[in-house]
Amino acid sequence: ACGKKEEAAPVAAPAAQAPANAEPLKVGFVYVSPIGDGGWTYQHELGRKAVQEKFGDKIETSFVESVAEGPDSERVMRDMAAQGSKLIFATSFGYQEYVQKVAPELPAVNFQHATGYKQAANSATYDAKTFEGAYMAGIVAGGMTKTKTIGVVASVPIPEVVRNINSFVLGAQSVDPSIKAKVVWVNSWFSPPQEAEAATSLINGGVDVMYQNTNSPAVLKTAEERGVYAFGKDGDMSAYAPKAHLGSAVIDWAPYYTKVVQDALDGKVENGQNFWWGVKEGAMDLVKISDEVPQEIKDKVAQVRQGLKDGTFQIWKGPIKDNTGKELLADGQVADMPFITSIKFYVNGIEGNVPG
Ligand code: GUN
């Protein structure tokens, strides 16, 4: 915007003449919340550390945290590229338009966008099957709720989040079909005070087990104060609420980050596609299930985990009805990808409507 042209940058020696791997591959990570959030970003940061550790001096990683999902993200990505990053992980949904804008202008850089759906010649998207963790947490919630009313503190109304809410509730209803659910949206990924307020209103409304799709342990901490239950999400949040914590639906980004960094070192990054890894690929699990959870419920979680691993269990399989009673998947019908990636309804038993 200042009108200065990017020019006169020193020209690197042609690759053919340079000794192999003389320079470390620079890899940048853009984070939406602080690395200390205990959840989403903390977990990406563990993934960054894992690849730095694994590849040693072959790579040089960097990160910028608390980057808003707006023009700041574009500036951060351009700066990373100007500093020599050849691989950039943009780790929040709202970076999508900025990755789309920047990638064609920087063809020598490979972009990786977490949770988006738009790819290009030098960009790919990737995600974790967070709904698998939500479903396993739901089973535990179904085994623990006494009020038969569970709740979710929801973040940003995109299909991923609606799918997670529904999957949590379907898991609970697999234990007790009469279970009802309430949702409060905070319209942010990371806003601990609002997350806590939303949790309080759920509890005041009779909810005794909560899940969240936000990034902080605020919901768990509120549960601890109020004597109800909740889950960790994305990271292991057990330490934040020893009594309230029923389990954490944890994402492990390290397997995917290891794959992509290896591909980049080999000069063969797989652009133009989406990678969606879950329990099967070791990217998702429900960990640290509380001792208070009955053994039969733990066994049910173990069965589902095994079924997700070997492909014999499908979460999104009919009969599934929305909360107006409309049948969306007939008995035995398995959802296809277009269905799964565009979920905009609440399943039977959830109060209210999806915003938007
Ligand atoms: N940014 C921060 N947290 C999240 C999340 O859970 N999902 C997506 N898509 N983006 C995020």
DSSP letters, 223-235, are HHHHT-EEEEEES
List, for residues 180-194, the tens digit of each pLDDT value: 999 999 999 999 999
Given the cut 0.85, state whether the ipTM is greater than it.
yes
Asked if 286 and 245 touch (Cβ cutoff 8 Å), the reply is no
Q: Which of 5-9, 47-51, 197-201, 286-290 has the lowest mean pLDDT?
A: 5-9
- Mutate which of 40, 42, 168 for ligand 1? The one with the most ligand atoms within 8 Å of its CB, which is 40
Taking the C-alpha atoms of residue 331 and residue 304, their distance in angstroms, rounded to an integer, is 19
Ligand 1 atom at minimum distance from 215 CA: 3
Using alpha carbons, select from 50, 28, 24 the residue that is nearest to residue 255: 50
Task: Quote the CA–CA distance of 26 and 256 in Å, as a whole number.
Answer: 17
Share of the chain above pLDDT 70, in %: 94
CA distance linking residue 279 with residue 345, whole number of Å: 25
Regarding the beta carbon of 214 and ligand 1, being less than 6 Å apart is answered no
Whole-Å CA distances, 86 to 15, 62, 257: 14, 12, 14
- Coil, strand or helix: which one is 149? strand
Check if 41 has its Cβ closer than 6 Å to any atom of ligand 1: no
Q: Using 50, 70 and 90 to split pLDDT, how confident is the model at 20?
A: low
CA of 126 to the centre of ligand 1 (A): 12
Residue-wise pLDDT for 292-344, tens only, equals 999 999 999 999 999 999 999 999 999 999 999 999 999 999 999 999 999 99
Q: Does the Cβ of 52 fall within 6 Å of ligand 1?
A: no
pTM, entire model: 0.93
Bridge-based pairing of strands 59-64 and 25-30 is parallel
**Substitution site in 33, 152, 189, 248 for ligand 1 pocket (most atoms within 8 Å of beta carbon):** 189
